């Protein structure tokens, strides 16, 4: 088992699906040294992030956590001489940092929050960090959700590197 917790196999396929910590740390001779994963408040997103963390720990890769804030707001409140700034992007970064700290990682990592669409944020981060792998969940990648679009589908079609789609639903 990995430090981030157990990774479940699909029912009836345990023999074909190795644990994350038993996977090779790369594809076709290329080692995973830089992994990007998107995280939101959704439990499914956090499941994908835990899988990415387990893989990064197994490979000794640097893990780059990204959260996207669509239509981020900055609100300034002034009361007398006091000034308070509420920034959605900074609040999202702090929430992500708390989640990441709960993982107790032993590999290097970065945390960033950006004001753009989730798919664009992951692709931009992968380019910026010269990532070998982007990890996404499979939310909205089946049935009607495929027609409406999904972050995983958008990333898979535009990524500058390999993409791991984690079964989260």
Confidence of residue 7 (pLDDT cuts 50, 70, 90): very low
Query: What's the confidence (pLDDT) of residue 28?
Result: 53
Domain residue spans of the chain: 20-166
Give pTM, 2 decimals: 0.75
In Å, what is the CA distance from 40 to each residue of 1, 24, 49, 84? 25, 27, 9, 25
Give the angle subtended at the CA of 73 by the CAs of 95 and 160, to the nearest 5°: 65
Query: What's the confidence (pLDDT) of residue 89?
Result: 85
Tell me the residue length of the chain. 169
- CATH hierarchy code of domain 20-166: 3.40.50.620
- Estimate to the nearest angstrom the gap between the alpha carbon of 85 and the chain centroid: 27
Q: Are 43 and 13 a contacting pair, CB within 8 Å?
A: no
């Amino acid at each position: 088992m990995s430090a981030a917790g157990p990774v479940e196999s699909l029912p009836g396929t345990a023999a074909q699906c190795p644990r994350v910590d038993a996977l090779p740390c790369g594809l076709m001779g290329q080692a995973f040294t830089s992994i990007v994963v998107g995280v939101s408040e959704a439990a499914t997103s956090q499941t994908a992030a835990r899988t990415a963390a387990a893989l990064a720990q197994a490979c000794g890769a640097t893990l780059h956590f990204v959260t996207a804030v669509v239509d981020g707001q900055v609100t300034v409140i002034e009361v007398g001489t006091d000034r308070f700034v509420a920034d959605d992007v900074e609040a999202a970064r702090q929430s992500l940092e708390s989640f990441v700290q709960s993982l107790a990682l032993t590999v290097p990592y970065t945390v960033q929050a950006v004001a753009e669409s989730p798919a664009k944020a992951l692709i931009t981060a992968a380019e910026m960090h010269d990532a070998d792998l982007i990890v996404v969940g499979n939310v909205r990648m089946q049935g009607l959700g495929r027609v409406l679009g999904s972050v995983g589908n958008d990333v898979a079609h535009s990524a500058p590197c390999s993409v791991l789609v984690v079964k989260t639903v």
